[in-house]
């Protein structure tokens, strides 16, 4: 089972300060809009998302090409999402919690 691309989504307090900090670490803007309070940064193969006011906590994020198929495969293994996908078409996402309570976002791209 392939979960897709991996990144860490960070719930930041000040996106501009966070951007300056992560740029100093060598990250470059890949996508997003600072005025909309979200950015995706990349350094080599590492990706992080900066999100101000969108999430209460940091998230582990996976971006598969088909979230619905992945959700079904996980359910077949007894793993129930906290929230599920909806509809049969278009982008989809769902949320899981690992055994220690960490939030995992599976967000189709």
> Which CATH number fits the domain that encloses residue 10?
3.10.180.10
Residue range 36-92, pLDDT digits in tens: 999 999 999 999 999 999 989 999 999 999 999 999 999 999 999 998 777 777 789
Q: 34: domain range? A: 5-107
Pairing of strands 5-12, 59-63: antiparallel
Counting Cβ atoms within 10 Å, is residue 5 exposed (0-12), middle (13-18) or buried (19+)? middle
Q: Considering its fold, how many domains does the chain have in total?
A: 1
Residue range 79-96, pLDDT digits in tens: 999 987 777 777 899 999
């Amino acid at each position: 089972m392939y979960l897709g691309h991996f990144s860490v989504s960070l719930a930041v307090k000040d996106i501009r300060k966070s951007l300056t900090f992560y740029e100093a670490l060598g990250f470059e803007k890949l996508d997003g809009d600072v005025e909309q309070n979200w950015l995706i940064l990349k350094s080599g193969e590492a990706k992080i998302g900066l999100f101000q006011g969108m999430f209460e906590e940091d998230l582990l994020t996976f971006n598969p090409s088909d979230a619905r198929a992945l959700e079904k495969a996980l359910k077949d293994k007894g793993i129930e999402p906290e929230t599920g996908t909806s509809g049969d078409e278009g982008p989809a996402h769902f949320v899981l919690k690992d055994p220690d309570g960490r939030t995992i976002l599976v967000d189709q791209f």
